[in-house]
Chain A
Amino acid sequence: GQQVMQIPQYQHVQEGEDFTTYCNSSTTLSNIQWYKQRPGGHPVFLIQLVKSGEVKKQKRLTFQFGEAKKNSSLHITATQTTDVGTYFCAGPKSGYSTLTFGKGTMLLVSP
């Protein structure tokens, strides 16, 4: 079945350092979505990428969708303590309305 893999599982950075998480799908995706879950909270939608090679920015966050629409990345420039949380990528499960989530990357930022 469809698998969505995400690396790294965990990253600890100093405030001001950059951070990147990578997402790879075993199948071609119609779109990819990114969510952020703060400790103790629920996943919150960040962005959706649809087009091959698409790049979108949200302030210090840059999202990319691969040309083959099977991989994606999230890059945070100059991390802040407010960036702490787990970042999940998710792709539509083929033929279904639900999503397959990656295992997430937990980001810890030290001041």
Chain B
Amino acid sequence: GAVVSQHPSWVICKSGTSVKIECRSLDFQATTMFWYRQFPKQSLMLMATSNEGSKATYEQGVEKDKFLINHASLTLSTLTVTSAHPEDSSFYICSARDLTDNNQPQHFGDGTRLSIL
């Protein structure tokens, strides 16, 4: 089945550091990928929709200059948390769906646990 790979799994870094997270669709092309954020014991909150070859669509309240998204190819989207601070610590998960088949569900990456000291 469709697989989405996300890297890295864990990041621990100092405040002010920028962190890049990669999301790859391994066996299908994904013109659209999704980035979610999840706080402990809470649901998945959509941050933005990443569109191949065009600008990402951000959800209300998500700072586009803070969370930079690049979707340069049909299999790769990246999320960069710029100048990260402790409040950015969270579990970030990407997902993708093979849009050529409406019966396909969303497939999630393993997620990235980001801890900012």
- Chain A residues near B109 (CB-CB < 8 A): 42
Q: Is the CB of B107 within 8 A of A102?
A: no
Main secondary structure of the interface of B (DSSP, over half): loop
CB distance from A56 to the nearest CB of B (A): 13
> Known interface pairs A42-B111, A43-B93, A96-B49. Does A101 touch B106 (Cβ–Cβ under 8 Å)?
no
Query: How many residues on the A side are at the interface (Cβ–Cβ under 8 A)?
Result: 20
List the 5 shortest-distance A-B pairs measured between CB atoms, nearest first.
A45-B105, A103-B43, A42-B111, A42-B108, A101-B44
CB proximity of B46 to chain A, nearest CB, Å: 6
Name the residue on B nearest A34 (C-beta): B105
Specify which chain A residues have a CB less than 8 angstroms from the CB of B103 in the assembled complex: 48
* B97 contacts across to A, CB distance below 8 A: 97
* Chain A residue contacts of B93, Cβ below 8 A: 42-43
Among candidates B41, B42, B106, residue contacting A99 with C-beta atoms closer than 8 Å: B106
A43-B108, A45-B107 known; A88 vs B41 contact (CB < 8 Å): no
**In the bound complex, do residue A45 and residue B42 qualify as a contact, i.e. CB atoms below 8 Å apart?**
no
Which residues of B have CB within 8 Å of A102?
43
